[in-house]
Structures are given as structure tokens and as C-alpha cells.
Amino acid sequence: MDKSEIMLLCASPRRKGTSTMLLERIQAVTGSEVVFLPQKDSLHELVLVMQQAATIVISGPCYINTYPARLIELLEAAALAGGFSGQKLYGIINGGMPYIHTHQHGLTCLQLFAEQNHLSWQGGFVLGCGAMLDGKPLEKHMNRKTVVPAFDQFIRHIAAGTPSPSCLYEQAQSPPGKIMTQVFAKLLTFLVEKSIKKHGHDPKAANWYLREQE
């Protein structure tokens, strides 16, 4: 495959986060620059790049159970522009929650976009616990022993231009058990509350907008 024909698109507004880290891992094998979705201005230029790429890999965070609004805006603009003819599309979505089902919608959305606009959907990778990584290497992931080889296999599919099955990411991650879930809930809440208190706020107070209205 011509290396320059792969478009690696980061759909996170955070340029040093987990979405970028995953693309850089792919980049190490396939080459090509990582393109960042601009948060302002027209998306026209980016649609042109998508039309010209042979393969598009989109990596983004999970916001409220699917990709962020700006990526949906790009997909809507691309659908309106048309001009696709069999471009291979792979997707990656990473979310904070340690589950797959909470982030899965993102990949379904990309698959539907591909099917409705003459691109060729090649599968993707759903990654839980992405917030804990916060851009750190995949080797720091909670399920590193299974996630690292699975993601590297996913990269090999991209490099070879072959479809990547969902069992690859499904089998690599298992949700925390009952006790760990309780530990997580307590620990994460403690950390969130600590940060809120550090900034001089009461985590248990009514929402700021409600207090403003009183």
C-alpha cells in the first residue's frame, strides 16, 4: 500500500490524548501524518483529503456514548459532498468507562456512514479505560496483556487493507468484577471530589446554574 494514501484522522479536541496515542501507534507501522479535526472553521478541506485517501482511519473519544459532535459534523459534510468510491474506512473509539457496549455506537455510526456513502467499512476497535491512559502508551492499559496484541493485530489489518473483526477487541477486554467495580466507583469519585475541592468548590452543592437562578 502507498503509505501516503492512508489518512489518520484524530477526532479528539485533545491533541495529546488517547485517540492520538492510538493513531501514533498505527503511524509507526503505516507512516502518514496524523491529521487533527479542526474545532473551528470550515471542514471543506478535510472532506477533500478524505475523498483523495485510499484508506481512512478515524480515532476519537467517546462523548455521551458516541463520537463527538465535530466528527458528526464532518461526516454530514462528507455525505453532502459525496465523491467517495470504495475508500476503506476503519474506526477507533476510546472512552473512560471500562466497557465496550457504552462506546460501540461510534463504530456503528461510522459503518452506517460508510455504507450510505460508497466507502468500504473495514471494522474498528473499541477501547475502554481510555481516560485512565490519558495518552500514555497502550502498555499501561488495565488489560494490557490482551489489549496490546489485539490492537497490534488491528494495525496489521489496516496495513494489509483487510477487514478487522469485532471479536478482536471484544475478546481482549473484560469488564471489572463486582468488587473491582465498587473499588473503581469509590476511587474515581474520591479523585473527582478531591479535584473539585482543590478548586474551592463543594462537590455536593447544587449545580451552579441552579444556584444562579435562585
Which residue in the set 43, 62, 126, 150 belongs to the binding site for ligand FMN (CB under 6 A)? 62
117-152 as b/e, with b when 16 or more CB fall inside 10 Å? Answer: bebebbbbbbbbbbbebebeebeebbbeeebbebbe
User: Could you give the string, one character per residue 11-40, with x where binding to another protein holds by CB under 8 A and - elsewhere?
Assistant: -xxx--x---------------------xx
CB of 203 closer than 8 Å to CB of 197: yes
Beta bridge partners of 63: 66
Partner in contact with 87, chosen from another protein, ligand FMN, none, beta carbon below 5 to 8 Å by kind? none
Which residue in the set 16, 33, 48, 116 belongs to the binding site for another protein (CB under 8 A)? 116
User: Could you give the string, one character per residue 126-165, with x where binding to another protein holds by CB under 8 A and - elsewhere?
Assistant: ----------------------------------------
SS3 per residue for 72-132: HHHHHHHHHHCCCCCCEEEEEEECCCCCCCCCCHHHHHHHHHHHHCCCEEEEEEEECCHHH
Residues between 9 and 28 that touch ligand FMN (CB under 6 A): 12, 14, 17-19
Partner in contact with 188, chosen from another protein, ligand FMN, none, beta carbon below 5 to 8 Å by kind? another protein
Ordered DSSP codes for 134-200: TT--GGGSTTHHHHHHHHHHHHHHHHHT----THHHHTT-----HHHHHHHHHHHHHHHHHHHHHTT
Asked whether position 91 contacts ligand FMN by CB under 6 A, the answer is: no
Partner in contact with 193, chosen from another protein, ligand FMN, none, beta carbon below 5 to 8 Å by kind? another protein
C-beta atoms surrounding 84 within 10 Å: 21
Distance CA 58, CA 197 (A): 37
Piece in contact with another protein (CB under 8 A), picked from 24-32, 44-52, 101-109, 160-168: 101-109
Q: Which residues bind another protein (CB under 8 A)?
A: 12-14, 17, 39-40, 61, 63-66, 68-70, 72-73, 75-76, 97-99, 101-102, 104-105, 108-113, 116, 175, 178, 181-182, 184-185, 188-189, 192-193, 195-196, 198-199, 201, 203, 205-210, 212-213
Q: Which residues bind ligand FMN (CB under 6 A)?
A: 12, 14, 17-19, 61-65, 94-97, 102, 130-131, 135
